[in-house]
A and B are shown apart, each in its own frame.
Chain A
């Protein structure tokens, strides 16, 4: 951890969050806390409400009921859904990052790779071109994107490279909290392993807190400290990651775990 933080105060406190789409349930009465330096995985099958919940937590959707409180660097608790728009934009640019399942949702495809990384730095106030380019190069290296491609547009990149570039773009500003929606989804396994190793290293090196939505239990095991298992919009089980996967208590979690080859 780079700064002294109160480890006993949740970084994000989720309190009875409910979101419906007309008659359809997104997620219902979800509560949990995320502490500094902690990675929480949200697992469950497609349609269980994972992504809806993630979008509510990150302020991208407004819940019908409940609230999400974020403790900022000064220690004040901000209600994610009632802070002013400029304040929320500031949070998104400095304290938070959001890694989308599809890299093209998180990148600007018509801007060069270096530009994608530099843009976020500039949004945070950086102006010196040389420094920005240097940091962009540094992050391309960290995320194992060939640095000779810095001036190429991401639409000429492979899926795995795009995803690593999206991660570079998100982490370059040193956020405190990262939301990830299926970060390894749609990538072939060798690329997945590489990305997992990278993410795991970055999370522990930077002392990041993260919420990771995934349907892949192996990914959840490697990346998260704690698991939240969702089904039909509700939490059915939570606990230490290896405990939930190795000794699941709920019928649905047991089914989920027993349905994969090597979780």
Chain B
């Protein structure tokens, strides 16, 4: 299988300069890969650094050492060393991230929030909104909500907006931070379908899923972060 994401000797620690300069080690020597067509579950108890690792892959957290390489338009880009402009290009075309919480500009309608990743790629507004509408339909978000800003939505509705926004752009590599956490059975099933479709389309997915049923339903293997834990 084709590798789309590969991490080698990744190291992370946090230094808190304003709290006596204390350094909190997270992990060290972490090595993993994700291939086209698979969904890898990051496993380990809370506080082990699963979300941290995901943010490092996305370039949101810095690496203290090692490489985080993403296959971007045929070339490997090391997120750990790439400059900001290159990381933004990788995010625009290759790397998607569905975080636990939706963070958007106030006042922007749901339809435009979801269409934005496509518009950033230069897709015209009409086409982008059509695709956004199709994706919102897939996650069962009622059409009556599409023209409202998501700030006042319930947790489950916001999460579905977030998921639609993440899946609308067909990123070859997807990072999912508890995508089904606040969803009921029907909506959870809709998200699992999106994951299955992505796998079938040859994308690589890395996710955090606390629910064992979800893991069993879509994940091909587990990756245990605890093996690389550094104790304080």
Contacts and interface: CB of A to CB of B under 8 A. Distances in A.
Given A196-B105, A243-B59, A254 B17 contact: yes
B84 A240 contact: yes
Contact of A246 (B60, B85, B105, B108): B60
Contact of A240 (B14, B59, B105, B107): B59
B16 interface: yes
A74 interface: no
A38 interface: yes
B61 interface: yes
A27 B230 CA distance: 41
B194 to A, nearest CB: 24
A113 to B, nearest CB: 23
A200 B59 CA distance: 22
A250 B85 contact: no
Contacts of A250: 17
Interface of B: 14-18, 55, 59-62, 84-85, 87-88, 105-108, 119-120
Interface residues of A, number: 24
A254 B16 contact: yes
A242 interface: yes
B62 A247 contact: yes
Given A225-B88, A243-B61, A197 B18 contact: no
A131 interface: no
Nearest to A243: B60
Most chain B beta-carbon contacts within 10 A, residue among A222, A242, A249 = A242
Question: Closest 4 interchain pairs by CB?
Answer: A251-B17, A193-B106, A240-B84, A247-B61
Interface string A211-246: 000000000001001100000000000011111001
